[in-house]
Structure 1
Amino acid sequence: MKTTQSLGVALLAALLLAACAAPEFRQPDVAIPAAFREAQRPAAIPGGEAVVRAADGTTWQVGRPAEAQPRGEWWRAFNDATLNALIDQATASNQTLAVAAARVRQARAIAGIAEADRSPQAGIGISADRVRRSPLEVNLPPGTPVPTANVYAARLSASYEVDLFGRVSSSVAAARGEAGAMEATYRSVLLSLQADVAQTYFRMRSLDAELATLEHTVQLREESVRITGRRFELGDIGELDLVRARSALATARAEAVGLQRQRAAAEHALAVLLGQPASAISAPVSPLDEALALPVVPAGLPSALLQRRPDIAIAQRGMEAANARIGVSRAAMFPALTIGAAAGGIGTSFADVFKWSSRSWLLGAALAAPLLDGGRIRSDVARSEAALEEAVAAYRQSVLTAFAEVEDNLAALRILALQGAEIDNAVASARRSADLAQTLYRAGRSSYLDLLDAQRNLAAAERNAVQLRGDRAVTTVALIRALGGSWDAPLAGGNQVIGAADGD
């Protein structure tokens, strides 16, 4: 009979534990393609030519492999010392990154607070009181004089919550998950910062190259004004051509001023990323030239994004924390067992407190359970379960977004390669056309409108070529960001970076 009762008690305890524990975490299913579709498409010029060639007939080089570069420090694949220095400065001084690092420390401290509940808690107390009690408190008739007394006490107390139904362990798991999510957030902010610095730097260099192109255009327009003015003085042409030449020159100068405004804004944005006042830096002019060799970034397998992308890691840790919070909510439905002990002394003088005759002690256990709460706990359980559903949906959405961003940037690089090959041909043709128009106009064999049209076409083609170079650099950085910052393995040293921030 006793054996049957023991089995029943054990079975009941097991059922209670199963009912209140956090559900076993299961990784949600997500649709992962076998390969990136855009990574399978060769860059081919419309019309069937599979090899991209430059305007002079040589093979057009898209970039160079960079698999030998250190993992994590992906920006070094560009072999640009200035870019390396800027990213190092931003990592050390950016305030948004400092905020993220501080939040990591907060989350780790909160996890430490939750961990502390696993251990016994002990404290010491010393008190001194001047007391006058009522006669009724000491079982005397009303009106009996009770003398005023001094009461001194010293007490050492300890308590421990027995984790019967997993409340403490679930709280610890949830806090750890939230700390992990905050660490992943730090890595996400770090990756975004690095990418923003690189993209802003390349945009600024692209603007420098556009300004250089416009300066060349201004020089051509100034030469045209000089030639047109000379011919007008000789009576070969009317004033209309001279006015047109001056108008074209003023327009080119105005465009250059507009680019200078954009360049200043990019410089100020870079200063903010570096954690500096906008007026504190003056980036030297460094046009983005044709010699820039961009790294070829292999896309790898789509499934690798689940380990590389910090935003997916944030969603993953969020799911784990939400799952553990269900256990915390369920545990509130069941009794909480706390064991307590206290020992000390009480006396009418401080010396009496430490006498053996003044000793007092207490040892006990308290079991507290809710009876009526108006459905508060069940509602909290329902809230926790819904929060898990939200976290799962957010995880799946982050995975879909990651795949789309990689495909977008792979497609952009493929199309930019095609555009670059064609714009090289356009620049070569426009340059030849402008040279011929200039020669014919000087000889008086063509109108100024023909020369102006040829120069406009050349300026537009050269600016398009420069803009495409900048777009390719910016898009390469965007692809690296979409891949999670590296293309061989997860970011190496991520936790070390966060640890370093902790010591700041």
Structure 2
Amino acid sequence: MSADPLKHAAHRRALSVLCAAVTITALSGCAVGPDYRKPDVAGAQAYTDDAWKEQAGWKPAQPSDALERGAWWEIFGDPVLDDLVKQVDVSNQSLKQAEAQYRQASALVSGARANFWPTVSASISSTRTGRYSTSGGGTVTGGTVAAGKGITNSYQAPLSASWEPDLWGSVRRTVEGDVASAQASAATLANTRLSLQATLVQTYFQLRTADEQKRLLDDTVAAYQKALDLTQNQYNVGVAARSDVVQAQTQLKSAQAQAIDLGVARAQYEHAIAVLVGKTPVQFSLAPQPLKIQPPAIPLELPSVLLERRPDVAVAERQAAQANAQIGVATAAWFPTLSLSATGGYSNSVWSQLFEAPSRYWSIGPKIAETLFDGGARRAQTAQARAGYDAAVANYRQVSLAAFQNVEDSIAALRILEQEAQAQDEAVKLAEQSLAIALNQYRAGIVSYLNVITAQNTAYSNERSAITLLGTRLNDSVGLIKALGGGWQATKLPDASAINLHSQAPAPEAPAKESP
């Protein structure tokens, strides 16, 4: 079999062009635009490694008492609460939306990476063409061609490929930005999960606070009923005045009205919890239960590691990285582009002869293009990218400063409320003693019923304040855990190799004995 020297020469030229392009791409490892560096946060260095400003006078838990990482709500020791929070991961629609958005961002990374590779396409076509002419003896009668009619058929089966080597790093910067965006989406998912969990726990404590206040009001109504019975007996024997009976009745009805009114807030809390766990209010109910939980001792992270523990801070930082990559994409537009294209296939006017050797054809060649004038469009795009990066850095620093504020606010609230709770507990005890004295004096006829009413109102008001204060302390405990990141770490973000079209959303980390 004899070799075709022309065909071999063509193959050698094609291979030479491809090898040259690969060599150019391999040698051009540069990617224009600035390499990303994590921005500094002004003022963060003011914190020492072992102290918060508001920590003085408040003793957090020791490291051995650290929270369950991931299942941080278990520190409160409420099985009903544990079950409810687990349902958030399964059924909450806001969390499902954030998870889908992460998968969407991951798919964008796969799409950007596809630009590293050539695009290959194949097709097959059939064309029938008619040509009419008066030349060659044809005549035109009444506008109709009588002769010179020609019809041709064309059948083609081409295979084409095109490739634009990433000489200046435009594709690499795009992938870099999309990876950062996907990581920001993963951090957004973690932040959404933490926010929903914290909202559910806080709403649950508000509901249980309402239950405890209802229990107090029920006890108060029972006590007021006994006081009314006592006053009525005193009136029947002529010891008490009719006004005492009316005052006792008024006080009883007022307490009953407050007990009924409390049902509105409780119903709304229950409905809110239903939505958080992905159910309609009609599908969900919680039986009343007394509030027996006390605010736990919460271990504090060192201030120096806070910015690695907050998913919202990670979102802002990854957005800054994405904005930085966009500067490189905009800068690459200033440089010429190289594209390689190749086409080969079969073409013939007879279908039965389409795939025979004489029907083959091919073409290959590079193209270099450069924009000479664009009216300032590239300059504007680069300026826009740099301004976007500056805005993202400012946002990251602002979110970071707010993170320190959140922790300081929560520590201060817990420290001060703990002192207030101690004083309030003493006030409750003293009010109970005062009520007992007033009742004994009234029975003995020493004081009027007004003294009893005053003592009863004081006792009830102090007990209700104590319950409200307990609920506030529990909610602030949740706020501190959330401010510390709830056990999340920046190391949980998926790396570039783990982000692709088939990525699953990062699952919440399994519990492990570590601090939040």
- TM-score relative to the length of structure 1: 0.86
Tell me: CA distance 1:462–1:492, structure 2 relative to 1, closer, same or farther (3 Å). Answer: farther
Q: 2: CA distance between counterparts of 1:297 and 1:135? A: 94
Aligned pair partner of 2:187 in 163, 181, 184: 184
Tell me: CA distance 1:301–1:491, structure 2 relative to 1, closer, same or farther (3 Å). Answer: same
Matched to 1:42, the amino acid is: G
Q: 1: CA distance between counterparts of 2:367 and 2:70? A: 53
The answer to whether the aligner puts 1:41 opposite 2:40 as a matched pair is no
Matched to 2:489, the amino acid is: P
1:391-423 CA distances to partner (integer Å, 9 max, x unpaired)?
000000000100000000000000111011111
Matched to 1:349, the amino acid is: V
Q: 1: CA distance between counterparts of 2:407 and 2:132? A: 80
Partner of 2:39: 28
1:84-103 matched pairs, under 5 angstroms: 84-103=82-101
1:293-308 matched pairs, under 5 angstroms: 293-308=294-309
Tell me: CA distance 1:82–1:63, structure 2 relative to 1, closer, same or farther (3 Å). Answer: farther
1:359-438 matched pairs, under 5 angstroms: 359-438=360-439
Residues 99-108 or 226-235, more deviating: 226-235
Contact 2:92–2:277 under 8 Å retained in 1 = yes
1:167-316 matched pairs, under 5 angstroms: 167-289=170-292, 292-316=293-317
Q: Secondary structure at the match of 2:123?
A: strand
Q: Secondary structure at the match of 2:282?
A: coil
Q: 2: CA distance between counterparts of 1:324 and 1:135? A: 60
Matched to 1:34, the amino acid is: Y
State the 1:81 CA deviation. Answer: 1.3
Q: 1: CA distance between counterparts of 2:490 and 2:295? A: 21
Tell me: CA distance 1:66–1:250, structure 2 relative to 1, closer, same or farther (3 Å). Answer: farther
Tell me: CA distance 1:324–1:492, structure 2 relative to 1, closer, same or farther (3 Å). Answer: closer
Matched to 2:309, the amino acid is: R
1:353-396 CA distances to partner (integer Å, 9 max, x unpaired)?
21111111111112222122111111011000000000000000
Contact 1:228–1:241 under 8 Å retained in 2 = yes
Contact 1:63–1:294 under 8 Å retained in 2 = no
Contact 2:160–2:343 under 8 Å retained in 1 = yes
Partner of 2:17: none
Partner of 1:114: 112
1:100-179 matched pairs, under 5 angstroms: 100-133=98-131, 145=148, 147-179=150-182
Matched to 1:127, the amino acid is: S
Matched to 2:246, the amino acid is: V
Aligned residues: percent identity?
38
Q: 2: CA distance between counterparts of 1:354 and 1:117? A: 32
State the 1:42 CA deviation. Answer: 0.9
Matched to 2:332, the amino acid is: A
1:457-480 CA distances to partner (integer Å, 9 max, x unpaired)?
111111111111111111111000
Partner of 1:140: none
The answer to whether the aligner puts 1:448 opposite 2:449 as a matched pair is yes
Q: How many residues align?
A: 460
Q: Secondary structure at the match of 1:162?
A: coil
Contact 1:66–1:295 under 8 Å retained in 2 = no
Partner of 2:505: 498
Residues 293-302 or 17-26, more deviating: 17-26
Q: Secondary structure at the match of 1:148?
A: strand
Contact 1:65–1:297 under 8 Å retained in 2 = no
Tell me: CA distance 1:428–1:491, structure 2 relative to 1, closer, same or farther (3 Å). Answer: farther
State the 1:435 CA deviation. Answer: 1.3
Partner of 1:338: 339
Tell me: CA distance 1:66–1:416, structure 2 relative to 1, closer, same or farther (3 Å). Answer: farther
1:212-250 CA distances to partner (integer Å, 9 max, x unpaired)?
111111111111211122222222222222211111111
Tell me: CA distance 1:414–1:154, structure 2 relative to 1, closer, same or farther (3 Å). Answer: same
Matched to 2:308, the amino acid is: Q
Q: 2: CA distance between counterparts of 1:18 and 1:357? A: 43
Q: Secondary structure at the match of 2:365?
A: strand
Q: CA RMSD, aligned part only? A: 2.5
Contact 2:173–2:329 under 8 Å retained in 1 = yes
Matched to 1:448, the amino acid is: Y
Contact 1:71–1:491 under 8 Å retained in 2 = no
- TM-score relative to the length of structure 2: 0.84
Tell me: CA distance 1:293–1:240, structure 2 relative to 1, closer, same or farther (3 Å). Answer: closer
Tell me: CA distance 1:350–1:235, structure 2 relative to 1, closer, same or farther (3 Å). Answer: farther
Matched to 2:273, the amino acid is: L
Q: Secondary structure at the match of 2:117?
A: coil
Q: 2: CA distance between counterparts of 1:463 and 1:387? A: 52
Contact 1:66–1:297 under 8 Å retained in 2 = no
Contact 1:71–1:492 under 8 Å retained in 2 = no
Partner of 2:12: none
Q: Secondary structure at the match of 1:407?
A: helix
Tell me: CA distance 1:263–1:189, structure 2 relative to 1, closer, same or farther (3 Å). Answer: same
Q: 2: CA distance between counterparts of 1:134 and 1:317? A: 66
Tell me: CA distance 1:41–1:173, structure 2 relative to 1, closer, same or farther (3 Å). Answer: same
Q: Secondary structure at the match of 2:116?
A: coil
The answer to whether the aligner puts 1:79 opposite 2:92 as a matched pair is no
Identify unmatched segments of 5+ residues in structure 1: 1-12, 45-61, 137-142
Q: Secondary structure at the match of 1:285?
A: coil
Tell me: CA distance 1:101–1:43, structure 2 relative to 1, closer, same or farther (3 Å). Answer: closer
Residues 367-376 or 174-183, more deviating: 367-376
State the 1:134 CA deviation. Answer: 7.2
1:184-205 CA distances to partner (integer Å, 9 max, x unpaired)?
1000000001111111111111
State the 1:63 CA deviation. Answer: 8.0
Matched to 1:21, the amino acid is: V
State the 1:295 CA deviation. Answer: 2.8
Tell me: CA distance 1:159–1:444, structure 2 relative to 1, closer, same or farther (3 Å). Answer: same
Q: Secondary structure at the match of 1:320?
A: helix
Tell me: CA distance 1:21–1:145, structure 2 relative to 1, closer, same or farther (3 Å). Answer: farther
Tell me: CA distance 1:304–1:293, structure 2 relative to 1, closer, same or farther (3 Å). Answer: same
Tell me: CA distance 1:246–1:194, structure 2 relative to 1, closer, same or farther (3 Å). Answer: same
